[in-house]
């Protein structure tokens, strides 16, 4: 196949697959069947486009092809009459005329994408399954791409996706936007999945790379889509703001050889000012919608304190401590307290912060969390206790599964050891 056409088909699929699957799911009421039908349309494109050329509107071509196959399937399975009957009864109850089925399929696709997000991120699925299914259905990623992104076998991802689709079918999950009572929990699940994908790209939990930019970009894309589909949801804009601002630092987070560069050591001239502006605008939108700020909006406000400071020493650390106080009240968490301690160290000094961190050492949930000894090591070093700092950094290095982070922590341990020897001399 001609490489240019193949690349075009791949690009079209990435852009259009979620719309295809969303529209087909509304038609057949089964996300697994909908994905199969969309894939069939892709196969037809792979067969015909190299010979006939790429259509003027490739997205519409795929949609039409997929729609015809879906209607054929419904007729074969004698589902169409039942669907008409269900729609007719629903409309009769509302004293309305049943719609034309073809026209119904061509309704505003935005609602369908929103419904697809809520299905892919449904709480009935495990968090791992939600992530895999979301990237598959809404991101258009292959199982191989998802597996490589998360450093797990392709068979594992394939199994998660198959089980997820089977669970959704067995539980008869409705293809709809949740009602007002259920919406907060369901929306929280969607936002959690998107942010989990972003975080895995921003700070990879394992492997040789410090970052996986493709995952950050995919999460940002999904977040921006969700913000357009749910413009009145403040936390959606809060999450987008948080991701935009964090993503703005990407170019400064690694050195020439891929080595991690910590936040306070970054060259802020490399921060992407356009992403920062977008993030601050999204944060302003979240706050303009009123009400109490949610956890994503608060974290975005914290990130904004960094973004607004052209130098690390210009950061409003006192404001950041206040925001962490607010976040801790809203979402009590040992990790929030650890991050708050870092802000306290910059606002009030390492001594006050070390007391807070020492209180967290007995927290069971942080037993294997490498950033706890890492932060403690940094505080000890700032207090001149380099021997202890070395030990803490070595402990942190032993805990992390990311090779780049492992190297950084060992390098810091060696640095603290050298400084300790100089003190002795």
335 exposure class (CB count in 10 Å sphere: 0-12, 13-18, 19+): middle
Residue 42 forms part of a structural domain: yes
For residue 155, pLDDT over 90 is answered with yes
Which residue among 158, 193, 213 closes a domain?
A: 213
* Neighbour-count burial for 111-132, b at 16+ CB within 10 Å, e otherwise: ebbbbbbbbbbbeebeeebbbb
Question: What is the pLDDT at residue 82?
Answer: 61
pLDDT of residue 200: 86
Same domain, residue pair 40 and 131: no
With contact defined as beta carbons under 8 Å apart, do 359 and 382 qualify? no
Same domain? For 208 and 115 the reply is yes
The upper half-sphere exposure of residue 391, i.e. CA atoms within 13 Å in the direction of its Cβ, equals 4
Last residue of a domain, one of 85, 107, 129: 107
> Is the same domain home to 118 and 88?
no
Give per-residue pLDDT as tens, 368-408. Answer: 999 999 999 999 999 999 999 999 999 999 999 889 999 99
Q: In this model, does residue 178 exceed pLDDT 90?
A: no
Give DSSP secondary structure letters for 304-322: HHHHT-SSGGG--HHHHHH
Confidence of residue 108 (pLDDT cuts 50, 70, 90): very low
Q: Is residue 61 part of a domain?
A: yes
Distance between CA atoms of residues 242 and 219, nearest Å? 11
For the full predicted model, state whether its pTM sits above 0.85: no
Among residues 63, 92, 107, the one where a domain terminates is: 107
Total count of domains within the chain:
2
Q: Please, where are the H alpha helices in 331-370? A: 334-348, 350-360
* Segments in 94-212 forming alpha helices (H): 101-105, 109-120, 127-137, 143-150, 154-170, 183-202
64 and 29 inside one domain: yes
pLDDT at 107: 45
For 77, the domain range is 1-107
**In the predicted structure, residue 101 carries a pLDDT above the cut 60:** no
191, two tokens? 């936002």
* 96 torsion bin: left (phi>0), alpha (psi -120 to 50), beta (else): beta
Do 138 and 96 lie in one domain? The reply is: no
Specify if 247 maps to a domain.
Answer: no
For range 336-365, the mean pLDDT: 96
Q: What is the DSSP letter of 207?
A: E
Rounded to the nearest 10 degrees, the angle between the axes of helix 234-247 and helix 183-202 is: 0
Strand, coil or helix: what is 405? helix
The answer to whether residue 25 is domain-embedded is yes
Per-residue confidence at 106, pLDDT binned at 50, 70, 90? very low
> Tens digit of pLDDT for each residue in 322-337?
999 999 999 999 999 9
Question: Is the residue at 277 inside a domain?
Answer: no
Same domain for 206 and 115, yes or no, is yes
Q: Average pLDDT of 327-352?
A: 96
């Amino acid at each position: 196949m001609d490489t240019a056409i193949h690349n075009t088909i791949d690009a079209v699929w990435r852009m259009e697959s979620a719309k295809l699957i969303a529209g087909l799911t509304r038609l057949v009421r089964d996300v697994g069947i909908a994905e199969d039908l969309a894939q069939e349309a892709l196969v037809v494109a792979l067969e015909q486009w190299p010979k006939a050329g790429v259509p003027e509107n490739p997205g519409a071509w795929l949609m039409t092809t997929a729609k015809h196959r879906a209607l054929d399937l419904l007729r074969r399975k004698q589902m169409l009459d039942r669907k008409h009957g269900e729609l007719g009864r629903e409309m009769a109850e509302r004293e309305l005329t049943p719609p034309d089925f073809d026209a119904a399929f061509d309704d505003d696709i935005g609602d369908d994408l929103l419904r697809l997000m809520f299905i892919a991120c449904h709480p009935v699925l495990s968090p791992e399954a939600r992530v895999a299914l979301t990237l598959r259905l809404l991101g258009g990623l292959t199982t191989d791409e998802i597996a490589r992104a998360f450093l797990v076998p392709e068979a594992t991802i394939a199994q998660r996706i198959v089980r997820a689709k089977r669970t959704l079918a067995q539980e008869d999950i409705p293809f709809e936007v949740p009602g007002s009572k259920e919406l907060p929990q369901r929306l929280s699940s969607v936002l959690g999945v998107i942010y989990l994908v972003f975080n895995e790209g921003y700070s990879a939990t394992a492997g040789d790379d410090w970052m996986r930019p493709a995952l950050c970009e995919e999460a940002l894309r999904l977040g921006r889509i969700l913000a357009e589909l749910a413009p009145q949801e403040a936390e959606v804009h809060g999450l987008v703001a948080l991701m935009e601002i964090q993503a703005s630092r990407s170019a400064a987070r690694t050195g020439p050889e891929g080595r991690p560069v910590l936040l306070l050591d970054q060259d802020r001239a490399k921060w992407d000012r356009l992403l920062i502006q977008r993030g601050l605008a999204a944060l302003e939108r979240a706050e303009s919608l009123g009400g109490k700020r949610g956890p994503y909006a608060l974290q975005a406000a914290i990130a904004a304190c960094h973004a607004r400071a052209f130098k690390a020493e210009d950061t409003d650390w006192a404001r950041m401590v206040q925001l962490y106080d607010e976040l801790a009240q809203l979402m009590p968490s040992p990790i929030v307290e650890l991050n708050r301690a870092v802000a306290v160290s910059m606002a009030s000094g390492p001594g006050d912060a070390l007391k807070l961190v020492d209180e967290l050492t007995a927290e069971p949930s942080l037993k294997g969390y490498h950033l706890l000894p890492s932060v403690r090591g940094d505080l000890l070093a700032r207090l001149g206790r380099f021997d202890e700092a070395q030990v803490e950094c070595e402990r942190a290095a032993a805990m992390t599964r990311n090779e780049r982070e492992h190297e950084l922590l060992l390098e810091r341990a060696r640095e603290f050891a050298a400084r300790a020897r100089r003190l002795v001399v």
